[in-house]
């Protein structure tokens, strides 16, 4: 009987203990608790934060000093600026991919659709006709259609030797298909020329004006209706005309890294056949241009949007 009574008493104490611990969350912090928290925080951050000058005990002589000391305690209990920076509404303005200036390793930009490679005049003509047909269908549904556009050529590293002709032309319509045309072998057949000169088909890319000039010099074909992503980014993101590269703009807008290995970028684009790596590189460049254009055009112009709203839209688009 005594053992049962003692057991019940122990269970009662145990229950009280559990209740008292669960109720702790509802109890306000005491002054001693706050001082202990402050001491622990200062000890943990003493190596990175500058030490504050402590007030002298002689300064507690009147009521004003006590009031100042009280306000000082309240100020010390505020979150450090490094934490507040992450909570600031503009912390991600124009850069949802970065937090507190910490550079992250972003996932690699890839193209998961079909890459159509054509290298003879007949093949390129057929590919261009397919592109025109697809664009015509898209225009009936949504009006003007944009295509990602880029070119590659063999660089030269000898003084006085001009670079090679535009060797490869990439055109990407959407997430499902990109065309890589080996124009150094095929030339620019009629249907491809019609595509390039069609002002109703918007060609988008970074530095596309320079690409269109090179195509004209090398093949005497004009490329009409071009939009440079650099200028579109200025209009949508503000902040002046920055020296955007396709890789940096990709990181800024969609939090992905665009790989640019020199072995491929500076490789031989005039080879008889392009390698798998070259085809993927070319397709990803054109696809990225198309994708970034779609992201940018969905944003309001910089002067019509607050930093908070633009940050939210960029974060949503990067998911």
For the domain 114-317, what is the CATH superfamily, name and number?
Ribonuclease H-like superfamily/Ribonuclease H (3.30.420.10)
pLDDT tens digits for range 134-163: 999 999 888 889 999 999 999 988 888 888
Q: Which residue would you say has higher pLDDT here, 108 or 63?
A: 108
Q: Residue 81's pLDDT is what?
A: 37
Strand order in the sheet with 114-118: 114-118, 177-181, 166-172, 145-153, 201-205, 226-228
Read off the pLDDT of residues 184-194 as tens digits, 9 standing for 90 and up: 999 999 999 99
Average pLDDT of the chain to the nearest whole number: 77
How does residue 11 score in pLDDT terms, banded at 50, 70 and 90? very low
Tell me where in the chain the CATH 3.30.420.10 domain(s) lie. Answer: 114-317
Q: Is the per-residue pLDDT at 99 higher than 50?
A: no
Mean pLDDT of 88-97: 42
Tell me if the pTM is above 0.75: no
pLDDT greater than 90 at residue 115:
yes
């Amino acid at each position: 009987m005594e053992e049962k009574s003692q057991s019940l008493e122990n269970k009662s104490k145990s229950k009280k203990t559990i209740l008292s611990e669960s109720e702790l969350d509802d109890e306000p912090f005491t002054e001693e608790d706050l001082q202990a928290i402050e001491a622990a925080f200062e000890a943990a951050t003493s190596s990175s934060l500058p030490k504050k000058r402590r007030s002298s005990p002689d300064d507690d002589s009147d009521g004003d000093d006590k009031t100042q000391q009280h306000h000082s305690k309240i100020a010390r209990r505020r979150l450090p600026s490094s934490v507040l920076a992450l909570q600031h509404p503009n912390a991600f303005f124009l850069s949802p991919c970065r937090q507190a200036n910490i550079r992250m390793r972003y996932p690699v930009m890839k193209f998961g659709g079909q890459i159509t490679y054509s290298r003879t005049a007949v093949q390129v003509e057929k590919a261009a006709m397919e592109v025109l047909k697809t664009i015509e269908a898209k225009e009936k549904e949504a009006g003007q259609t944009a295509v990602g556009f880029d070119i590659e050529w063999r660089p030269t590293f000898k003084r006085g030797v001009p670079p090679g002709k535009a060797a490869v032309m990439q055109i990407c319509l959407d997430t499902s298909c990109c065309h890589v045309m080996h124009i150094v072998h095929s030339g620019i057949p009629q249907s491809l020329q019609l595509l390039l000169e069609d002002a109703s088909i918007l060609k988008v890319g970074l530095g596309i004006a320079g690409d269109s000039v090179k195509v004209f010099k090398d093949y005497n074909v004009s490329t009409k209706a071009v939009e440079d992503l650099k200028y579109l980014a200025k209009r949508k993101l503000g902040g002046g005309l920055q020296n955007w590269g396709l890789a940096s703009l990709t990181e800024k807008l969609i939090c992905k890294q665009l790989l640019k290995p020199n072995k491929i970028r500076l490789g031989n684009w005039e080879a008889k056949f392009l390698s798998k790596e070259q085809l993927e590189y070319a397709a990803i460049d054109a696809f990225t241009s198309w994708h970034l254009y779609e992201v940018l055009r969905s944003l309001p112009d910089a002067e019509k949007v607050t930093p908070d709203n633009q940050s939210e839209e960029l974060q949503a688009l990067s998911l």
